[in-house]
């Protein structure tokens, strides 16, 4: 049985003012072609299908068209769960229609999928809250999946039937998963989990959550889950949330973040993106292969010592999104900015880095401009850098007056 693991599509996401929808269309087409080429039997999508709770019509149409194409008219199973960016209700609403195409959509950790059997197509033969068993065409053994869409800690405790604050969430999840595995996951089927959670090895390093990502580890969120909390019956755990491809652990089975299909923030600059192809059969360890995706614009970070160096490099790197840091003796003037932006259509961020000099004429360490500050604070930083002191009250009052006039 060949199974494809992908996650974190974030359909509708923008990079500042830049739409990524056409890139998403291209990379999802690449995933569909890969599924056809590899004769995949099932596709697992581990959450963050959209980038927000109310996706645009274009993002929704792209999602439905893609999962319908992946389903191959009901011959291939497609299972998608909600992530922390998704609306549980929104993901689950079209499930009855989706099931007619062999597609399972789960919005909550306690979702119970209605059983349905169709000759020659994917059928749901058994289900329970957080579990589904699928019969796939041409296989005499089933695919069993523990499904754990994202829910914050308070909702997760309620879904698990307890609001006991003393017990660790990971222990409650472990008990729930083990009960499901004991009841349904024997060695006569393929047993896996699809989850949108923050997993790590106990006492191991904590994986970093990406920039611009809604963090799971925060007040009211779900705590880190340890790989030792997983049932031993599982053969593979398909994870979503972290955007970098990584295998969290090999025991009790491969526990894998497949990565997002595109780089969505500059913390992911130059980061390769993957899907994971899994060869599985009952009672045996799975074989996995990470397959690098090629579609979409690369995100690059680059630092230059002069505008001339940047202008020479930019035409050689088209079809990219860029975060440029430019070292300068002064703040960048308007003509320099215009020349840079005119030479490349993907400059997302232009960061000036001031170079100051000591009285002896030696360069001091460069100082980056903190663009999170407001205009007045940036003006004070500039004045300090150029004059060696803070502006006086009269100058600040004049600055305020200029800003007020500009805003009017």
Domain ranges of the chain: 2-292, 298-407
User: What whole-number distance in Å separates Cα of residue 342 and Cα of residue 344?
Assistant: 6
Binned at pLDDT 50, 70 and 90, residue 367 comes out as: low
pLDDT > 90: what percent of the chain? 66
Which structure tokens are listed for 189? Answer: 């089927």
Predicted pLDDT of residue 277: 98
Mean pLDDT score of the chain = 88
Q: What average pLDDT does the segment 13-26 reach?
A: 95
Q: What average pLDDT does the segment 374-400 reach?
A: 77
Predicted pLDDT of residue 218: 45
Q: What average pLDDT does the segment 161-166 reach?
A: 65
Q: Which long-range contacts (CB under 8 A, 24 or more apart) does 153-159 make?
A: 153/220, 153/221, 153/222, 153/223, 154/220, 156/109, 156/222, 159/108, 159/109, 159/110
Q: What average pLDDT does the segment 242-251 reach?
A: 95
Report pTM: 0.84
Res 48 pLDDT > 60 = yes
Predicted pLDDT of residue 213: 58
What tens digit of pLDDT does each residue of 105-128 get? 999 999 999 888 888 899 999 999
Binned at pLDDT 50, 70 and 90, residue 211 comes out as: low
Predicted pLDDT of residue 57: 96
Binned at pLDDT 50, 70 and 90, residue 341 comes out as: very high
Q: What is the largest CA-CA distance in the chain?
A: 85
Find the length of the chain.
408
Q: What average pLDDT does the segment 261-266 reach?
A: 95
User: What whole-number distance in Å separates Cα of residue 101 and Cα of residue 50?
Assistant: 21
What tens digit of pLDDT does each residue of 90-100 get? 998 887 778 88
Predicted pLDDT of residue 354: 77
Res 220 pLDDT > 50 = no
Q: What average pLDDT does the segment 257-268 reach?
A: 95
**Virtual torsion, Cα 29, 244, 78, 284, nearest 10 deg:** 130
Q: Kindly report which listed range (272-281, 302-311, 392-401) carries the lowest average pLDDT score.
A: 392-401
Q: Which of 10, 17, 89 is nearest to 52 (CA)?
A: 10
Predicted pLDDT of residue 95: 76
Res 282 pLDDT > 80 = yes
Question: DSSP readout, 26-47?
Answer: HHHHHHHHHHHHTT-SEEEEES
Res 339 pLDDT > 90 = yes
Res 7 pLDDT > 50 = yes
Compare 289 and 381 and report the one with higher pLDDT. Answer: 289
Q: Kindly report which listed range (27-36, 89-98, 130-139, 206-215) carries the lowest average pLDDT score.
A: 206-215
Q: Kindly report which listed range (278-287, 343-352, 396-405) carries the lowest average pLDDT score.
A: 396-405
Q: Which residue has the tokens 């360069």?
A: 363
Predicted pLDDT of residue 163: 63
Which structure tokens are listed for 254? Answer: 């491969």
| 281 backbone φψ class: left, alpha, beta (φ>0; ψ -120 to 50) | beta
Predicted pLDDT of residue 381: 78
Q: Which of 336, 339, 407 is nearest to 375 (CA)?
A: 407
Predicted pLDDT of residue 332: 77
User: What whole-number distance in Å separates Cα of residue 381 and Cα of residue 387?
Assistant: 10
Class of domain 2-292: alpha beta
Distance set, CA 96 to CA 77, 91, 264 (Å): 15, 12, 32
Q: How far is CA 227 from the centre of its chain?
A: 20
Res 79 pLDDT > 70 = yes
Predicted pLDDT of residue 97: 79
Binned at pLDDT 50, 70 and 90, residue 366 comes out as: low
- Cis peptide before 252, with omega less than 30 degrees from 0? yes
Q: Kindly report which listed range (118-132, 198-212, 325-339, 374-388) carries the lowest average pLDDT score.
A: 374-388
Predicted pLDDT of residue 408: 46
The 3-state DSSP class for residue 140 equals: coil
Going by the DSSP 8-state scheme, the letter that residue 115 receives in this structure is: P
Compare 115 and 177 and report the one with higher pLDDT. Answer: 177
Compare 98 and 7 and report the one with higher pLDDT. Answer: 7
Q: Kindly report which listed range (113-122, 297-306, 309-318) carries the lowest average pLDDT score.
A: 113-122
Predicted pLDDT of residue 210: 62
């Amino acid at each position: 049985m060949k199974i494809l693991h992908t996650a974190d599509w974030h359909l509708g996401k923008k990079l500042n003012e830049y739409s990524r929808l056409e890139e998403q269309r291209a990379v999802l087409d690449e995933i569909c072609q890969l599924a056809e080429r590899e004769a995949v039997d099932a596709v697992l999508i581990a959450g963050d299908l959209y980038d927000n709770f109310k996706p645009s019509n274009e993002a929704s149409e792209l999602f439905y068209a893609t999962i319908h194409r992946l389903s191959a008219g009901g011959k291939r199973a497609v299972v998608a769960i909600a992530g922390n960016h998704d609306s549980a209700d929104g993901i689950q609403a079209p499930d009855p229609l989706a099931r007619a195409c062999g597609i399972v959509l789960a919005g909550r950790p306690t979702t119970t999928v209605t059983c349905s059997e169709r000759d020659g197509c994917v059928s749901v033969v058994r289900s329970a809250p957080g579990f589904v068993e699928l019969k796939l065409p041409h296989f005499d053994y089933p695919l069993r999946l523990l499904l754990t869409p994202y829910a914050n800690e308070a909702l997760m405790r309620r879904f698990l039937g307890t609001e006991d604050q003393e017990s660790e969430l990971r222990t409650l999840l472990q008990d729930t998963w083990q009960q499901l595995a004991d009841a349904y996951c024997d060695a006569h089927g393929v047993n896996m989990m699809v989850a949108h959670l923050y997993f790590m090895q106990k006492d191991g390093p904590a994986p970093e959550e990406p920039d611009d990502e809604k963090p799971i580890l925060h007040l009211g969120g779900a705590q880190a889950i340890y790989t030792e909390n997983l049932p031993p019956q599982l053969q593979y755990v398909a994870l979503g949330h972290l955007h970098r491809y990584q295998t969290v652990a090999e025991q009790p089975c491969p526990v894998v973040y497949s990565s997002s299909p595109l780089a969505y923030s500059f913390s992911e600059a130059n980061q390769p993106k993957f899907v994971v192809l899994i060869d599985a059969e009952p009672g045996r360890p799975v074989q996995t292969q990470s397959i690098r995706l090629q579609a979409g614009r690369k995100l690059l970070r680059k630092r230059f010592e002069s505008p001339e160096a940047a202008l020479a490099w930019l035409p050689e790197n088209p079809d990219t999104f860029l975060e440029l840091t430019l070292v300068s003796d002064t703040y960048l003037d308007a003509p320099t900015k215009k020349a840079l932006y005119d030479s490349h259509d993907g400059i997302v961020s232009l960061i000036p880095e001031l170079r100051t000099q000591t009285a002896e004429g030696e360069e001091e360490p460069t100082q980056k401009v903190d663009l999170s500050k407001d205009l007045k604070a940036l003006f004070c930083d500039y004045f300090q850098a150029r004059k060696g002191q803070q502006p006086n009250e009269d100058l600040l009052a004049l600055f305020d007056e200029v800003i007020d006039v500009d805003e009017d």
